[in-house]
Amino acid sequence: MAIILAYNCQNEINKTLKKIQKYEKYFYKICVVDNNSKDKTFINANTFIKSRNLKKFEIIKNLKNFGQGGSHKVAFEYTLKNKCDYCLIYHGDDQANIKDFKKILSDKTYNNFDAILGARFMKDSKLVNYQLYRILGNKIFNFLFTLVSNYKIYDLGSGINLYGKKIISDRYVKFIDNEMGFNYQNLLLMIKKKRNLKFAPISWKTEDEESNVQLVSQSLKVLKIVLLFFLKNDYFKYLEKANICNDKPKSKIFNLNKQRKINWKFRL
């Protein structure tokens, strides 16, 4: 199963779909999760799929914005509903490139790991238009997370990751962050559960620069996660007890001309 997470990427979604179409033979199904975009992301994706009569492709449209983490949870649940053992998460903004996972898919390397994580900051990675201060910031946080988890981390979360069933079905996933913090917390969860992980170098291009306010806000959130993980005896039981993520998502699945509404069982 391949899931493309998309939000307000009307100009990039078709490029992303065209790239992944070349690799559709490796997937049981390819699904776009549109996180209630305010632009033409859904329309463009739907037109692309219909015009090419792509049988393996469909779209899930969230009926409200569930955040990046919430869309991950929708993707995981949908993978389990389809009884698939692996889920490739691929961002629809065309910053990552699925070509970097070609060998992993063709050789079925994923069968040897619980997750394979795209890494922008390891040997053989390639960065295009990525500002030096952002590279430095990422490497500092990679070091902090490595320190508190006692596990070498090359990237806290990129635009392409492949997760196995142990990760997808972990009961604690529903208690972690619905926003950008999902990848950071999920990585710590995988390490705490001693999952067999592999980091893989990827290429990454950036065209839109984040605002300073966004960067500061996100950095403070990442810092809070790493501090709480260090200070709490069992960080994930703490999250479960806090019970912050308790919204129930609603979505529609679009498969060419057919559509149906679905209510996810897990708490978001």
Q: What is the number of structural domains in the chain?
A: 1
pLDDT band at 153 (very low <50, low <70, confident <90, very high): very high
In-domain check, residue 49 = yes
The string of pLDDT tens digits covering residues 191-240 is 999 999 999 999 999 876 555 557 888 899 999 999 999 999 899 999 98
Band of residue 3 on the pLDDT scale cut at 50, 70, 90: very high
Does the residue 47 lie in any domain? yes
268 domain-assigned: no
Write the Ramachandran bin of 124: left for phi over 0, alpha for psi from -120 to 50, otherwise beta: left
Residues whose CB falls within 8 Å of the CB of residue 136, separated by 6 or more in sequence, listed in order: none
Task: Compute the C-alpha angle 199/200/201, nearest 5°.
Answer: 125
Residue 94 domain-assigned (yes or no): yes
Cβ neighbours around 255 below 10 Å, total: 15
Q: Is the CB of residue 205 less than 8 Å from the CB of residue 134?
A: no
Structure tokens at 19: 């790239």
Rounded CA separation 199/236 (Å): 23
Output the average pLDDT for the chain.
90
With respect to residue 81, please indicate whether it lies within any of the assigned structural domains: yes
For position 248, which CATH number holds? 3.90.550.10
Q: Report d(CA 21, CA 188) in Å as an integer.
A: 32
DSSP 108: T
Q: What is the pLDDT of residues 28-80, one digit of tens each?
A: 999 999 999 999 999 999 999 999 999 999 999 998 898 999 999 999 999 99
Q: Which domain holds residue 98?
A: 2-263
Cα angle, residue 13 at apex, residues 18 and 138 outer, rounded to 5°: 110
Q: Does residue 175 lie in a domain region?
A: yes
Report residue 222 as tokens: 């990442």
Q: Is the pLDDT of residue 257 over 50?
A: no
Please report whether residue 78 resides in a domain.
yes
Q: Report yes or no on 203 lying in a domain.
A: yes
